[in-house]
Structures are given as C-alpha cells and as structure tokens.
Amino acid sequence: MKGMERRLAELKSVIPEVEPSEADSLLKQGALLVDVREADEIANGSPNAALRMGRGYLELRIEERVPDKDKTLVVMCAGGVRSLFAAEALQQLGYSDVRSLAGGFNRWKNQGLDFEIPRALSAEAKERYSRHLLLPEVGEAGQLKLLDSKVLLIGAGGLGSPAAYYLAAAGVGTLGLVDHDVVDRSNLQRQIIHTEARVGTPKVASAREAIEQLNPDVKVVGYETHLDSGNVEEIFSAYDVIVDGTDNLPTRYLVNDACVKLGKPNVHAAVYRFEGQLTVFWPGHPDNPSGCYRCMFPNPPAPGSAPSCSEIGVLGILPGVMGLLQATEVLKILLDMGQPLLGRMLYYDALRSSFSEFKLKKNPACRYCGEQGDFPGYEDYAQVCAAPDR
C-alpha cells in the first residue's frame, strides 16, 4: 500500500464514518455538523445547520465554538478524506464522539439533502473587516450579522459622535441618529464627528457626511426632530439597540420608558466634568434581566439641581472614552458575546485614571419595569426639569 492509502486505512479503523442520511438523523438528535472545507468551497453550498470553520484554524477555534467535549460531532469535507484527518485532530483535543461524513458534501448534495448557498462578504468587505474576521467570536457570520443590525443613537453630540463613528467603522449596517440641533463651534472640542467647515449644519447631516466618508456600507437614517412621547415608539421600533447619549433629563427618562415598554436594550452613559458612568438597562433580557433607569432615579430632581455640561463644563476627551465604551457594549449585544453591563454600573474617574464597578439592583416596585404589570404611560418632564431663568 502507498503511504497515503495506509494512513487513510488507519484513520478509518478508528474514526467512525456515517452516511449522509445517518448524519442528518444525528443532527436532528442534537449532533453538530462541522464543515472544514475552505471558504471558496463553502460559498458553493453548505448544509443549513453546519458550523463552518475551515480546516486551517480548526484546532485553534473549535473549543471556543464547541466547549462541550461530549457533543457528537460529524465532520464534513468535500469527499470524505480531509474530514478523517480533522476528526482525528478533534479526538486528540479530547472530543469523545467524533465521526466523519462518508463521501463528504458531494454525497450529501447528491442524495438530495438540504443545503444553502451561504451569504458571503465581498472581497472589499473582507479587506475592510479583516481584523474582525480573524476573531472566532466574530468571523464572517458575525460580520454579516453586524451588517444586518440596526442601532439608534439618541444624540449626535459628545457621546453619540464617537459611538456612531466606531459603530460605523465596525460595520453596523444601519445607524439611526436623533438630533434636532445644529453644529456649534463649542461642540468641536469633544464632538469629533463634526468639523469647522460644518458649523451651522444640522448635526444629523454633518454626522451622515462623516460616516458615509468613513464607511459607505453603512446606511444612515436621520431624525432631525425632538424626541417625544408621540414619536418615540415609531422611531424605536425599527432598531435592535438604543444608545442613550442624551444630555438632558426629560429625554433620558423618555428613552428609558420607551425601551422598557418595547423591550429594547438601552446602552446608557453620562458624563459630568471629569467623571463618566456606563451601564446597560434591559429589563426584558431573557437570561439576565436588569432594572431600568427609574430603579435608580424614580423621578427627576428638582428644577435647576442637575446642571448640564453647558453650565458646568466637561473635559473634552471624557465623552470620547464613554462613547467608545458604549459602542463596545453595543457590539457585545449584537454579537451575543461576553457579558454586557447588565445590573452593573461602570464608573470612570479621569483625574485618577480609575474604573470602579457598582452593582445595580432591580426595584421590584418600579412603576415601569417592576412587577406591577401595566405600563403607566409617558410623562412630560420638559417643564419639571427645566432650569429656572437666571
């Protein structure tokens, strides 16, 4: 026997082979099909439920994607040869039940079993997002998911500018921007998405221009309007995640209440002089429900007791730090990876260069996210929160 024939015979003596029909039955019983073909092969078709990994990085990535070493794995290549070698490698990593698909994808397809032509990134997109594609937690499937995602940013100011810029760079396919203001020269110290040339331009239009120049893959939907109880649900309903970058309390309460009612994750941040805070409010999260903004602050403070940045100032870099952290939380939510800041508040002190974390408890008696049942409706705090004339 030639060396390769002898090696294949050895592998077949220790790696069980299954026909496509048997593999299909195993999948219905909870097994996982691992497609180890290369990307150009997979582009021509792959079984619908397959985990598409490629042979080159299999050993490096499989344990992150399949941590259960007792999971039944059926390994598939084009004709049933490479899958034997891949199956042996998986056995050496400690997987206890690994099988090889006899005849590979060619036989699977010829027997009329279901497969799909997977969506794939264009060559330009693969170049643009190449660093994401190297991460097993993202990969091509994750990048496609980002391109399908929709994120709404409330405010195109100090927090919204860096958040929008980096979400666009990351390839979030649709970004909604809500802001009724125009670019002022005093904004440029911290609102990095705007420029001197666009002073006097609506912030939504200015941000759209910057984003489209950075990444033409991204669709920008602008809302040059005041957010209020009459339009908040219509605007929010089209988006997967809401990013609260507001600098006024009436809007902050409105954003919170609408997110609670609609079950949307609310990535919240705020800045004050040299300090910032960040958390994620998502009472409707299926696995780890959190409280909402009203669990901490059931009602707004007295008029004039919560001054804005325009009254007390803010270190220009600080909103950039917090806005980037907001963008990070958004990506974690969209890709379902890591641990979002649910039930936790991250506090940043720029003068001490320190981060602290505080636990947030859900208030069972909260009128909005508690156990009372019915949504109590929206409240207009515009006059309540307004600072007195000076």
| CA angle centred on 238, ends 235 and 240, rounded to 5° | 115
Smallest Cα–Cα separation from 90: which of 108, 66, 118? 66
Q: How far is CA 218 from the centre of its chain?
A: 15
Cα–Cα distances in angstroms (integers) from residue 170 to residues 35, 39, 175, 213, in the given order: 27, 22, 12, 14
The helix/strand/coil state of 167 is helix
Smallest Cα–Cα separation from 105: which of 37, 57, 26, 30? 37
H or E segment at 321? helix 317-335
Q: How far is CA 305 from the centre of its chain?
A: 35
| CA angle centred on 349, ends 343 and 353, rounded to 5° | 115
For residue 309, indicate whether it is catalytic.
yes
Q: How far is CA 2 from the centre of its chain?
A: 51
H or E segment at 18? strand 17-18
Give the integer Cα–Cα distance in Å for 105 and 77.
6
The active-site residue, picked from 77, 295, 309, 369, is 309
Neighbours of 189 (CB within 10 A): 14
Rama region for 51: left / alpha / beta (φ>0; ψ in -120 to 50; rest)? beta
Q: What amino acid positions are annotated as catalytic residues?
A: 309
